[in-house]
Amino acid sequence: MKPVKVGVLGLGTVGGGVVNVLTRNAKEISRRAGRKILVTHASARNLTQERICDTQGIELTTNSLDIINDPEIDIILELIGGTTLAKNLILQAIENGKHIVTANKALIALHGNEIFAKASEKGVMVLFEAAVAGGIPIIKAIREGLSGNQIEWLAGIINGTGNFILTEMRDKGRDFSEVLAEAQVLGYAEADPTFDVEGIDAGHKLAILASLAFGIPLQFEKVFTEGISNISRADVEYAEELGYRIKHLGIARKTEQGIELRVHPTLIPERRLIANVDGVMNAVLVQGDAVGPTLYYGAGAGAEPTASAVISDVVDVVRVLTGDPEHRVPHLAFQEDAISDIPVLTSEQIQTAYYLRLTAEDKPGVLAEVTRILSNHNISIEALIQKEPLEGKTVVPVIMLTQTTLEKEMNAAIIEIEALSTITGSISRIRLETLG
C-alpha cells in the first residue's frame, strides 16, 4: 500500500518535533498505522534558518497554499498557531478534501464549530489531541476511553506557566513578579504573559474539554476567567498552613441548573494527587459516574511531547482513511445531531467554597460584624484564623474558609465587608474545591 503523504504548515518547535519523532520512530509508527507516513512538504516563513529537525527529502516553501493545493498530499498538519491565517488555511484544505491535524487550541475554541461543520460536509477528519495538555492524551480519553460514562465534572492544571509560577512561590517563598520574570527568561512565559497568567490559554482548553465531556457546542466566550497575578506570597503560605495548595485550575461541572465553565486560582486539599503536580507539568482530573475519578498527568508542552499527540492523530487518520465517514469517532465525541445546548451558568450562579483574607482593626466587635454580614448572605464559616498584629500596626490579618455558597451572595458580602471602616484595603478571595 502506498505511503500516506503529509504536509506540515509551520516548522517551529512543534513542527520540528513532529518531523524528528516521525523520522526516528518511522518503523514503529507504520506498524501501528498499517502504512508508511511521510512528511513530503513543509512551509516556513524563513527557509534558511537553523532548525531542530533534518529537512532532507522534504520540499520546503514559504507559501502554505502550495501544500494545501497539492493533490498528492493526504493530511495537513496545522502548526503555525494564531486564528486568522490558520482558520483560512484549514478551511481551504478541508474544501480540497484533506484531513487536518492541528495543535491550535485557540483556533478550535473560537472557530471549531464552523470548522467541524465544514469537515463533516466534506467527509474529512479534523483532529486536535495536541491542542489541550500537550502530550497527555486527554482528548482521546474523554472522547473514546470514557464514552460509557456520564462525565460529572473535570478539573485541570492546563497551563504550565501558571503552575510553574505558583510552585516557585510555594516552594521558595518568592513573589509573583519575581517568578514571572524568571519564567520569561526560561522561555516558559511570553514577553506578554497575559494569555498564560490571566487564564485565557486555559480558558481555550477548558472550552474544548467541556464540549467533549458534556456534548455542548464550543463556547469560549462563556468561560469565566480569573488570573493569578493577584495571588500573594501570604496567600500561598496561609493556604499551606491550612492544609491546602493553590493551583490555577480550569473547572467544568454539570449541574441541574447548567454547566459551570471557570478558570481561576483554587485552593485544593494538599492530599489530592493533583495538588502535588508541580512545575510546568499538566494534569486533568475527570469524574465519571461509572469509572469514578481518573487522573491524567504529563508534559503540557514541548517539542516532542506535543509531537507525540500530533502523531497519534495522524495515525488515527491513516487507520480510517478508507473507512466510511459516518462510522468515524465524532469530532466532539457526541454525534452531531446529539449536541445539546445546555445553558452555561454565569459566574454569579456558581456555587463553591471560599478562602478569604482580610485586614481588620484589632479591637472587639470587628469579627462579629464581619460574621454577621456573611450570615445575612447565607454564608457559613468553616474555619477562622486571626494572626498576630502586623509589626508596628494595630491591624491583624484574618483568614476564613467558608462552606459552599452562591458566588452572587459572596460578591455582595465582600462589598459590604470592604465598606466597613474597620476593614483595611481589599479582601483577597480564592475559590476552594475539595475535588472529592
CA atoms within 13 A on the CB side of 232: 10
Q: Return the domain boundaries, the chain.
A: 4-135+303-338, 138-299, 351-432
Per-residue pLDDT at 414: 98
pLDDT band for position 322 (cuts 50, 70, 90)? low
pLDDT band for position 338 (cuts 50, 70, 90)? confident
pLDDT band for position 412 (cuts 50, 70, 90)? very high
Per-residue pLDDT at 392: 75
CATH assignment of 4-135+303-338?
3.40.50.720
For residue 299, pLDDT beyond 90: yes
For residue 233, pLDDT beyond 80: yes
- The cell for 397 is 490579618
Region 413-424 average pLDDT: 97
Instruction: Kindly write down the DSSP assignment for every residue of 351-370, as one continuous string.
Output: EEEEEEEEEEESSTTHHHHH
Q: How much of the chain, in percent, has pLDDT values that exceed 70? A: 98
* Gap between the Cα atoms of 266 and 222, Å rounded: 19
Fold of 138-299: Dihydrodipicolinate Reductase; domain 2 (3.30.360)
The position carrying cell 489531541 is 129
pLDDT in tens, 117-126: 999 999 999 9
Q: Give the chain's mean pLDDT.
A: 95
The position carrying cell 490559554 is 201
- The cell for 35 is 502504512
For residue 384, pLDDT beyond 80: yes
- Residue 321 burial class via C-beta count within 10 angstroms: exposed 0-12, middle 13-18, buried 19 and up: middle
Region 197-211 average pLDDT: 98
Region 213-238 average pLDDT: 97
Fold of 351-432: Alpha-Beta Plaits (3.30.70)
pLDDT in tens, 35-45: 999 999 999 99
For residue 321, pLDDT beyond 70: yes
Positions marked catalytic: 205
Per-residue pLDDT at 24: 97
The DSSP output letter for 342 is P
pLDDT band for position 324 (cuts 50, 70, 90)? low
Q: How much of the chain, in percent, has pLDDT values that exceed 90? A: 91
Per-residue pLDDT at 340: 87
Per-residue pLDDT at 337: 81
Give the list of residues 6+ apart from residue 256 with CB closer than 8 angstroms, or none.
none
Region 108-131 average pLDDT: 96
